[in-house]
Structure 1
Amino acid sequence: MRAFAHRGQVTKVVFGTGTRNGIADEVRALGCDRALVLSTPGQTGQAHEVRELLGPLAAGVFDQAAPHTPVAVTEKAVGAVRAAGADCVVAVGGGSAIGLGKAVALRTGHAHIALPTTYAGSEMTPVLGETQGGAKTTRRLPEVLLRTVVYDVDLTLALPPHVAAVSGLNAMAHAVEALYAQDHDPLALLIAGEALDALATNQTVRHQRPGAVHPPAAHLRARTRGAGLRRPAPLRASTRPDPWHVSSPGRVGPVAGPGRPPVPRRTPWRPDDVAGTKSLHSYGGHHA
């Protein structure tokens, strides 16, 4: 039997259909009473809907979130938070809005709540990537962990099939990372396998039947299983690109190719290293 250490999540997760209707209760549960809603320009409509749901708790909407979390945009958002007298932020959208929420929370100490609309998974990790002067810095910071994540299946139904496909593959990549991460553990491996099964099974159905409720629900459940259990090697602040990785939404690790070194085969933990658990014999998560 191998010894291991597993770090659980501190984020509260609310999952279901129509759960966004309780967003005001989640803000109150954190002891907050002034929430600024964050979104990208393309999701302004959803941001204003959330503002309406917040009622008197709404401090306004900041809809300038951008990919890769530019520091200049973050500074504007922090100014909007202070001008509105907000004591928390509610991010509505995918990785761009949630990344901005993390950056704002880091600079203000305010609570951060998310209403994800994609399967990106940023809401369940302590990773913050920011860009400034054309360079990107990525850090792991416990301070940016969200306080509450509200998964509402209804918010994913409007995703165009091609966007859902790319986002779903990105979610699968995150689960795969748990299989070879430097500090992986048996619990993370089991849950990553279940996440991969759910995503692989429902991805095709989600593409063929865009309005079906079950596939998006399964995708989001997979996110709650896989995203927070990802344990990659600790990241160091860096502004240099890694030449051995593909820069794409589905990036999962080193890729072999012309002029690139061969990719070493990594053997993940097997849950049967721990007494009383079943063996996970494939990266696809199929149990013996």
Structure 2
Amino acid sequence: MVSTMTNFFDARREFALPGGVYNATPSRVIFGAGSLARVADAVEAYGAKRAVVISTPGRSGLAQRVADLLGDRCCGIIPEAVSQVPIELAIRGRGLAADLKADCIVSAGGGASVGLGKGIALEYAKPIVAIPTTYSGSEMTGFCGITIDGVKRMHKSLNMLASTVIYDPELSVGLPVDVSMASAMNALAHCVDAIYVSTVSPLIVGSAYEGAAVLAKAMPRVAASPGDVGARTDLLYGAFLGGAALTGGFALQHGVAHVLGGSFGIAHGLSHALVLPHVAAYNARHAPREMKRLADAMGVDNVGAALFDLMVGVGLPASLKEVGFDRGNIERAAQITVETDNGLNPGPVTIEGVRALLEDAYAGRRPA
């Protein structure tokens, strides 16, 4: 880890960070088994007296548990979160929160719950207490992909940066293995996509290298023993580091994955998992030094191939074809990716390049 950071600083003696939401992390993080019990203290720390709890319909039981822990400080539950944060739902959520006179937002669950909490806070600015139960890492950032007219568009605001994040690995023990592994690949995607963007702080980039190493080792352990709280703790710790890395910015990997999820309905974690090896292989040609350091941190020779093998080894699908993606949509997906590109990828983002990596992802070709 020390040598990786030293090499990175050698390469970044000159840098200009954009400020704002970039590289900003929550001011308070509570990590450890059983830490959910501290949610009332977290809300009270902001003087809040009317916290609204956000969840998906499937995690309404957890939402009620959180509400019970909050007691009189809870003003209601909004169990309506869905993946990809449709703008219509974000607007409805803001209205419901306002009607409840909520002065704090508590998001409990996976990326959908965290995302809806952010979508509400974007314009209904209140403190956010995030309680993630998956490994998406988005709870660490002020970024949020909101789907508008069938296209997932990235929004950035300090209003969406959580004030407190509570990481309780016990809450993820019951998460199905396939969902856990897809979510963990999402966390790995944060680590990979952050190391070569110009907006990442030298103080943050080390999280990407360490997070990738921790996640790659923890994923097979959780796949083999889903009830192992120690393995789950390591996986959640890696996701926390990946979330911190994500605050530095993101590039092509997230661009492609968000298109597959927002425009073509592929589950969020899988959309990241299925393209990550191929984007890593593509960017290895354009950011060889950073990718070599990542390979060293992970203890592998080839990051793209190692990610593909990891994905298959923990039981995830190997191709877009396997999850029902229509090959005829590749051209449109490539077009949307190019149209929504943020300009931070080290290699050119072209129709031809994106089409080629999507063809590889569709066929499930192992990067060479």
TM-score, with length taken from structure 1: 0.83
1:117 aligns with 2:133: yes
The equivalent of 1:181 in structure 2 is: 197
Identity over aligned residues, as a percent? 33
Instruction: State whether structure 2 residue 297 is matched by structure 1 residue 285.
Output: yes
1:87-106 pair list within 5 angstroms = 87-106=103-122
CA 1:282–1:225 in structure 2 vs 1: closer, same or farther (change >3 Å)?
closer
1:232 counterpart residue number: 249
Alignment of structure 1 residues 37-186 onto 2, 5 Å = 37-186=53-202
Please tell me whether residue 265 in structure 1 is matched to residue 276 in structure 2.
Answer: no
| SS of equivalent to 2:272 | coil
Is this contact kept in 1: 2:193–2:251, CA < 8 A? no
Q: Distance in 2 between matches of 1:118 and 1:11?
A: 21
Q: Name the CA shift for 1:43/1:284 in 2 (closer, same or farther; >3 Å).
A: farther
What are the ranges of 5 or more consecutive residues in structure 2 without an aligned counterpart? 1-9, 18-22, 300-368
How big is the shift at 1:173? 1.1
How far is the alpha carbon of 1:177 from its aligned partner?
Answer: 1.3
Q: Which moved more, 1:31-40 or 1:180-189?
A: 180-189
Cα displacement (A) at 1:284 = 4.8
Q: Does 1:249 align with 2:277?
A: no
CA contact (8 A) 1:190 1:285 kept: no
The one-letter code sitting in structure 1 at the alignment partner of 2:135 is: Y
- Letter matched to residue 212 of structure 1: D
Q: Which amino acid aligns with 1:285?
A: A
Partner AA of 2:38 in structure 1: G
**Matched position secondary structure for 2:288:** coil
Paired residues in the alignment total 269
Residues 117-146 of structure 1, C-alpha deviations (whole Å, 9 max, x = no match): 000011012211112332322122222111
Q: Which moved more, 1:100-109 or 1:125-134?
A: 125-134
Give the match for residue 3 of structure 1: 14
C-alpha distance in 1 between matches for 2:226 and 2:66: 24
CA distance in 2, matches of 1:65, 1:54: 20
More strand per residue: 1 or 2? 1
- Is 1:128–1:139's contact at 8 Å kept on the other side of the alignment? yes
Secondary structure of 1:92's aligned partner: strand
Query: In 1, distance between residues paired with 2:193 and 2:102?
Result: 36
Letter of the 2:188 counterpart: M
Instruction: Name the aligned partner's letter for residue 38 of structure 1.
Output: I
SS at match of 1:17: coil
Q: Which amino acid aligns with 1:79?
A: G
Q: Give 2:213's aligned residue.
A: 197
Measured in 1, the distance between the counterparts of 2:99 and 2:132 equals 25
Segments of 5+ residues of structure 1 without an aligned counterpart are 271-279
Name the TM-score, length of structure 2 as normaliser.
0.66
Residues 1:214 and 2:245 are matched in the alignment = no
The structural deviation recorded for 1:184 is: 3.3
CA RMSD of aligned residues (A): 2.9
- State the 1:223 CA deviation: 2.2
Q: Distance in 2 between matches of 1:81 and 1:283?
A: 45
1:24-77 Cα offsets, whole Å, 9 max, x none, are 110010111111100111111111111111111011110011111112212221
Alpha-carbon separation, structure 2, partners of 1:150 and 1:265: 37
Contact 2:50–2:104 (Cα < 8 Å) also in 1: yes
Maintained 8 Å contact 2:194/2:251: no
The whole-number CA distance in structure 1 between the counterparts of 2:163 and 2:144 is 15
